[in-house]
Chains A and B, each alone.
Chain A
Amino acid sequence: MKAFFNDGKTSKRRDCEIEFHADKLKIRYIDEQQSPLTTLWEISQISRLEVRTSSTNLKYGEYPQEVLELSSQKDLDYIIGKYPDASFHKSTYNTFTTFGWKGLMALVFTLVALSMIFFFYGAPMLAEVFARTIPEEYETYIGRNVQQAYLQYLEVDSSRSQLVQDFYELLDYESNYNVQIVVVESDIANAFALPGGFIVVYSGILEIIEKEDELAALLAHEVSHINGRHSLRMLSRNLSTYLLISILTGDVGGFSSVIIENSHLINNLSFSRTLEKEADISGMRLMIEANIDPQGMVDLFKRFTHLQDSISDSLAERIDVDTTSSFITDDSAKTFSQVLWEKAEPVFSTHPAPKNRIEYLEREMLDSSITNFNGKPSLKGLFESIKSKTDRL
């Protein structure tokens, strides 16, 4: 067996001879001064060949390590054969690097399946757990900051905010949060909820709403987003996937990360629709519990269906609101791409289509055992003052 020995002092490779003993290797070589030397390697102290591949070096001891350079893999196999139980050649990597192409392909498919499971179930689940552990006070803190940052660019109607706030208090919906409502001046027919109890209502939506039950429904939907911590769940999901992708793709090439990013988007959109549906249904339950006619929720969506049908170009100039928990989709003037978009809506939309919403809400209403709703008479008066302010504009 031809081998070289590096003593860790100089780079001169020395021809050497190896003798095999029960628990050690005896290496004989000639040094600089041409004098014969011997060194002993305890088998248990030989550095582990973590990734063997085609390596033919064996290393020994602490810094600076001595190195045995074997001339071929056969020689290394021979030494390993002499010490089958020794730990220096035991490594799981070595199992994988000796796989044939078939084995590798099987591994690829297992991995793809595993990543899919992890990606669509594992990561979102972890994010959910994380979102649920965030204390309410912190959630409120986040919400207040976002609200303040957001309101800087908008005109707040404080008197109408107060009226809607009073309206909300009268509804007496169940919530652990101190809900604060702000009405802002805007043509946009929308409303959204922020973590910790902050609701922003655009004056545009108040113009469209015709009945107090519909406003009650709108608020029920938003409060449900807050109660269900939807923004936070969405956010932590985005964040977790973002972090996980960055970790996992550390050495994955550009192509695969593009694929992952896109599936991430679709995955999140479907999560967004799940949350919207959840807010619709638990909003309706809130109404039923508060003795308000849940038909208001259905009517509200019917209004949006009409609105969508008759939507005009003038509405096209809408600010792109964070759709995390806004009330309706921002569909405006229809272009070709939009028609395409609508076809693909079940997959790509952040919100369920209004028609679907009406369907499942009506089903939910049928399931409810209560059919007679007294409502709250004082709501009507308050709603009229909110409306009258809107009409004046």
Chain B
Amino acid sequence: MEQATQAVKHYRSSDEHSVKFVGSYKQYLGLWLYNILLTIVTLGIYNPWAKCAIRKFLWQETEIAGSRFEWHGTGKEMFKGFIKAYLILGGLLLVLNFGPLFIPPEMLVWAVLSAYLLILLLVPLAIHGMARYRFSRTSLRGIYLGYRGKLKEFYGLTTRDFLFTIITFGIYGFWLEVNIRKYILEHARYGNVSAAYDGKGGQLLGLAFLQGLLVMITLYLYTPWAIIEFFKFHVKNTSLVQNERRYYFETNASGGKYFVVLLKAIGLIVITLGIATPIAQLMIHKYLVETISIAPGFSFDGIQQTEESYKDATGDDMGDILDLDF
């Protein structure tokens, strides 16, 4: 009898194509507190190691087909990315916030304009670097993910789309978003499995129009439902390509359930004066992640290792500069 209830309660655990998140809230809180402690003691320098530990937790507590993901990134690698990002961002923030203090007034306009231009140029670099880094440091069942996008191509795409976005007063922004996703996913690998993304800018525009309207009509009450609609749009348009067949991701997320989770999370934060923030964040993460599954038929057993070692000495120096995470 007891077995029967168990089976019903954990019906998803028998489904090897659904994602499960098994992390414990208490352990996550402990992890998080330790991170804060070290971040304070080291005046913030520990931040990348802290982020790395959090990611290790999130990855290895996520399960699909009975196996856990692994995060192979290290604090040291992330520290390098952090330094790069902070030097650049710090410089830019300095110009934008405190420019008048050290830049002659006649140069100020140019300095601020070039700072903004530089930010625009850095965004594609940052997205590319993060994709490269995150994919290459993730594995499941010993098979590594990878990202084979080319920076030059990616720049071409983002610059073109960004110009269109300006010309169309932002409307093309939906195509920009979709094209970035498409490019990144289509250049992502999981061993000999590749990914695809079918979302179209026009569909996203339509969705945004409808959802935006509903959010306004309901005085923002509809927001959680709208968020879920976007989430579904992206998840359902993503697929994995194995042996020339496409296996789509599926999500059974619902706005109502998401709304309840959000309410619980916010309530928890308020009651504990912010101390339970990590638990609240994890609740939301868990809900969303666990709604995802991949179409039956996808074989988790027949994947071959294909990606070259990210530690390969030849590509290391140049590639390393592009590895970013912050």
Per-residue CB contact flags for chain B residues 283-312 toward chain A (1 = under 8 Å, else 0) read 000000000000000001111110001110
A253 interface neighbour in B35, B269, B301, Cβ under 8 Å: B269
Query: Which chain A residues border B43 with CB–CB below 8 Å?
Result: 126, 244, 247
Residue A267 CB within 8 A of the other chain: no
CA distance A290 to B262 in the complex (A): 67
A115 interface neighbour in B40, B66, B67, B191, Cβ under 8 Å: B40
Query: Which chain B residues border A11 with CB–CB below 8 Å?
Result: 140-143, 191, 300-304
Query: Which chain B residues border A126 with CB–CB below 8 Å?
Result: 43
B102 interface neighbour in A64, A141, A251, A252, Cβ under 8 Å: A141
* A247 contacts B39, C-beta separation under 8 Å: yes
A259 interface neighbour in B51, B56, B274, B311, Cβ under 8 Å: B274
Residue B201 CB within 8 A of the other chain: no
Residue B44 CB within 8 A of the other chain: yes
* A64 contacts B30, C-beta separation under 8 Å: no
* A104 contacts B29, C-beta separation under 8 Å: yes
Residue A213 CB within 8 A of the other chain: no
Query: Which chain B residues border A239 with CB–CB below 8 Å?
Result: 98
Q: Contacts A9-B304, A53-B23, A251-B54: A63 and B40 contacting too (C-beta < 8 A)? A: no
Report the nearest A residue to B108, measured CB to CB. Answer: A149
CA distance A166 to B33 in the complex (A): 61
Residue A185 CB within 8 A of the other chain: no
CA distance A44 to B112 in the complex (A): 54
Per-residue CB contact flags for chain B residues 51-94 toward chain A (1 = under 8 Å, else 0) read 10110110011000011101010000000000000000010000
Report the nearest B residue to A257, measured CB to CB. Answer: B274
Query: Which chain B residues border A111 with CB–CB below 8 Å?
Result: 33, 36-37, 40
A-B contact count (CB 8 A): 183
B277 interface neighbour in A10, A53, A252, Cβ under 8 Å: A252
* A65 contacts B31, C-beta separation under 8 Å: no
* B301 contacts A65, C-beta separation under 8 Å: no
Residue B103 CB within 8 A of the other chain: yes
CA distance A111 to B32 in the complex (A): 11
* B101 contacts A142, C-beta separation under 8 Å: yes
Q: Contacts A57-B68, A65-B72, A97-B30: A10 and B23 contacting too (C-beta < 8 A)? A: no
Residue B243 CB within 8 A of the other chain: no
Residue B18 CB within 8 A of the other chain: no
Query: Which chain B residues border A148 with CB–CB below 8 Å?
Result: 104-105
Residue B238 CB within 8 A of the other chain: no
Residue B34 CB within 8 A of the other chain: yes
Residue B252 CB within 8 A of the other chain: no
A250 interface neighbour in B30, B47, B61, B142, Cβ under 8 Å: B47
Report the nearest A residue to B57, measured CB to CB. Answer: A51
Count of B interface residues, CB-CB < 8 Å: 68
Residue A207 CB within 8 A of the other chain: no
Residue B184 CB within 8 A of the other chain: no
Closest chain B CB from A206 CB (angstroms): 27
Residue B50 CB within 8 A of the other chain: yes
Closest chain B CB from A76 CB (angstroms): 12
Residue A7 CB within 8 A of the other chain: yes
* A251 contacts B35, C-beta separation under 8 Å: yes
Report the nearest A residue to B29, measured CB to CB. Answer: A104
CA distance A368 to B231 in the complex (A): 73
Residue A118 CB within 8 A of the other chain: yes
Residue B114 CB within 8 A of the other chain: no
A67 interface neighbour in B35, B141, B274, Cβ under 8 Å: B141
Residue A344 CB within 8 A of the other chain: no
User: Which A residues between 30 and 74 are near B, CB-CB below 8 angstroms?
Assistant: 50-51, 53-57, 59, 62-67, 69
Residue B261 CB within 8 A of the other chain: no
Report the nearest A residue to B266, measured CB to CB. Answer: A255
Residue A145 CB within 8 A of the other chain: yes
* A145 contacts B27, C-beta separation under 8 Å: no
Residue B14 CB within 8 A of the other chain: no
Residue A256 CB within 8 A of the other chain: yes
Q: Contacts A69-B67, A253-B281: A51 and B56 contacting too (C-beta < 8 A)? A: yes
Chain B interfacial positions (CB closer than 8 Å to A) = 22-24, 26-37, 39-41, 43-44, 47, 50-51, 53-54, 56-57, 60-61, 66-68, 70, 72, 90, 98, 100-105, 108, 139-144, 191, 269-270, 273-275, 277-278, 280-281, 300-305, 309-311
11 of the cross-chain contacts (CB-CB < 8 Å) are A13-B301, A50-B56, A51-B53, A64-B143, A64-B305, A96-B34, A107-B30, A108-B33, A114-B40, A252-B277, A253-B277
Q: A107-B30, A114-B41, A252-B36 are in contact. List 14 more A-B contacts (CB 8 A).
A: A10-B303, A11-B301, A65-B139, A65-B142, A96-B31, A99-B26, A111-B37, A115-B36, A145-B104, A145-B105, A146-B100, A149-B105, A239-B98, A247-B47
The 4 closest A-B pairs by CB, nearest first: A6-B142, A247-B44, A253-B277, A11-B303
Chain A interfacial positions (CB closer than 8 Å to B) = 6-13, 50-51, 53-57, 59, 62-67, 69, 92-93, 96-99, 101, 104, 107-108, 110-111, 114-115, 118, 126, 141-142, 145-146, 148-149, 152, 235, 239, 243-244, 247-248, 250-253, 255-256, 259
